[in-house]
Amino acid sequence: MKKGQTEDDTIEDNCAPGKAPVTGVAIIETYLKNLSGKPGVYRMLNADGKVLYVGKAKCLKKRVAAYTHPLRQTVRIRRMINETAAMEFLTTHTEAEALLLESNLIKRYAPRYNILLRDDKSFPFILVTKDHPYPQIMKYRGAQSRAGDYFGPFASVWAVNETLAVLQRAFLLRTCTDSVFNNRTRPCLLHQIKRCSAPCVDRISEADYRESVEQAQLFLSGESQQIQRRFAAVMQEASDNLEFELAAQYRDRIRALTRVQAHQDINLLSLKDSDVVAVYQAGSATCIQVFFFRSGANYGNRAYFPVHANEDDAATVLEAFLGQFYARSVPPGRILLSEDIPNHELVAQALGVRAERRVELAVPVRGDRRKLVDHAIVNAKEALTRRLAESASQRKLLKGLAAKFGLEAAPDRIEVYDNSHVAGTKAVGAMIVAGPEGFNRSAYRKFTIKGVKGTGPRESADGFSPGDDYAMMREVLTRRFSRVLKEDPDRTGGQWPDLVLVDGGKGQLGVAAEVFEELGIEGVNLAAIAKGPDRDAGHERIFRPDRVDPITLQARDPVSYFLQRIRDEAHRFAIGAHRKQRSKAIGKSILDEVPGVGARRKKALLHHFGDAKAVSQAGRTDLEAVEGISSSLAIKIYDWFHADR
């Protein structure tokens, strides 16, 4: 850097438009002079200012100096060095703090050259609330801000639902919301089928209900055997007293508890709160299996397939995975690994900072814990085998599609576009993405179609004549590709498709071709898929710009099934987005848009006039008669509805 110039100035100068940026080793060397030996995090940026790589270092100066010798690096890192046009740095107090920051930045920027964990969905918990005299038990996902006891995490929503069903049978706790609870006048269906004790209508005392809540919490804490023995004693006592109906109720509760215990394939009471993380590599791909154990109970498992370079070994991928995985969830007290990682102590220290307590990283070699790890490895191997088989089948289908369409190579990214609306209203466009790994749902996009005023005699409120699919498709494609031209003009960010497939016939294909011509887009294959003459599946026709006649596929052709599947997925996504728009509109009122009218005044107006239409037709004097409506506000409301008169 020049004297008196800041790091941001260097980035702006080197990434300025119209100037050929200095990249590679030359730009990296300019930062070495002023770098300290402190721990910290560094970011490598390309000429467009996009983050290429995020790394952490115990000594920033030494770590960055290593990049000035590209021949000692892997092929992936050499490519990254060649693209580097600027760097950013942030020092930290400790290396553990740098590791945590690195994980957060990787999650935020998803750099191209880092090992990436793509699945960032949070895990579900079970929440027993504390802000009500009769606590509610519920499924919960997100920030743990509500007062209550949280149990989990569970590996899947299915595991949570299964556990909630057992808790309902065994402890008869309410699952309804507080508003429903407060407005009940008689027991609901759950009480009739013996899934709730109906505290909403005082069918159980507060003390007895509290006891049931405590028993449920003991069960979730791993004390299921203790609860089962207690229920057995109560059942026997009721039977001895000839209270057979009460005895039968406790018998059913015991059966519910036993049913859950039978599903615990691995249940080590000595394990307490632990995660088991196992890694397996094959065919330049990696699968990581995570098993969740809480209070000695198996809360399920989930498989992950991190994206990384071929030269990354299992230990390196596992270490990168741990940092990103526990950046979004609090680690338990013990994590069992299938193999040791390069920076064992550092990662343990960083996870301890994240959990605000000591976290043990262990690689068991014998005993029950090793059996757990081996079991996780077997699951990882089977999951990866299935994924590789599915990928091979998918690649075969893509090659077949390329042959049918006359493409030069099998497409890596297919974008399918569809629209959904009712008579032109609440129109929504949808884009789905498919490739060698199947559907890439994180890349799906929906477009709330804004529209331009048409000329049709039955033009809708949204600005489209009913059935004006061409204008909708034009808007969606224009917005999508105008944005990608701006964000990724060099086509290096993985946002460009190899094939664009629009739902429809020659008309939709013509619209897509016009949009591409207007935007100057070349090198992207276009096609349209239409149903057969009788609009039946299995006889689809494919239209291509370079062919006069459509391509007709055989009904049992695997490529035909593949096209049906991706078209149906586009339909599903578009219709789902459209239904959400309609659901939102159903709950809206014309009063919601009136300035100065909030929830309380809206309620007062509706109570006074009966409905929103009557409010819109009311005079100023009538509006002033409503409680909370001043004369000035009455004038505003009147003018709002009578502005055109």
| Domains of the chain: residue spans and CATH | 7-109 (3.40.1440.10), 274-385 (3.30.420.340), 414-585 (3.30.420.340), 590-641 (1.10.150.20)
Q: Which two tokens stand for residue 416?
A: 């399918």
Q: Residue 251: is its pLDDT beyond 80?
A: no
Q: Residue 46: is its pLDDT beyond 90?
A: no
Query: Residue 618 region, left (φ>0) first, then alpha (ψ -120 to 50), else beta?
Result: beta
Burial class (CB in 10 A: 0-12, 13-18, 19+), 76: middle
Beta strands across the sheet bearing 148-151: 137-140, 125-129, 148-151
- C-alpha 464/C-alpha 259 separation (Å) is 56
Strand partners, 392: none
Which has the higher per-residue pLDDT, 640 or 512?
A: 512
Sort strands 274-282 and 334-337 into parallel, antiparallel or unpaired: parallel
pLDDT for position 455: 36
Tell me if 552 sits within 8 A of 405, measured CB to CB: no
- C-alpha 266/C-alpha 297 separation (Å) is 8
Q: Which two tokens stand for residue 369?
A: 């814990």
**Which pLDDT tens digit goes with each residue over 450-498?**
774 443 333 444 444 444 788 888 999 999 999 989 888 888 777 899 9
Q: Residue 214: is its pLDDT beyond 90?
A: no
- Say whether 90 sits in a helix, a strand or coil: strand
Residues in Cβ contact with 338 at an 8 Å cutoff, skipping those fewer than 6 apart? 277, 278, 279, 280, 318, 363, 373, 376, 377, 380
Of the candidates 311, 315, 307, 310, the residue with the CA atom closest to the CA atom of residue 280:
315
- Say whether 3 sits in a helix, a strand or coil: coil
Tell me if 115 sits within 8 A of 307, measured CB to CB: yes
Average pLDDT over residues 298-321: 80
Whole-prediction pTM: 0.51
Q: Which of 107-116, 168-177, 398-407, 461-470 has the lowest mean pLDDT?
A: 461-470
Average pLDDT over residues 106-131: 76
Of the candidates 494, 495, 530, 493, the residue with the CA atom closest to the CA atom of residue 510:
530
Q: Which two tokens stand for residue 143?
A: 């920030």
Highest mean pLDDT: which of 99-103, 406-410, 610-614?
406-410
- Reported as a pLDDT band with limits 50, 70 and 90, residue 2 is very low
What single DSSP character describes residue 351?
A: H
| C-alpha to C-alpha distances, 206 to 118, 169, 173, 190, 210, nearest whole angstrom | 46, 19, 12, 19, 6
- Reported as a pLDDT band with limits 50, 70 and 90, residue 366 is confident
For tokens 């300290």, name the residue. 36
- C-alpha 288/C-alpha 429 separation (Å) is 36
Neighbour count for residue 380 (Cβ, 10 Å):
26
pLDDT for position 464: 46
- C-alpha 137/C-alpha 155 separation (Å) is 18
pLDDT for position 21: 54
pLDDT for position 380: 86
**Which pLDDT tens digit goes with each residue over 573-593?**
888 877 777 666 555 666 777
**Which pLDDT tens digit goes with each residue over 254-295?**
766 655 544 444 445 566 778 899 999 886 788 898 888 876
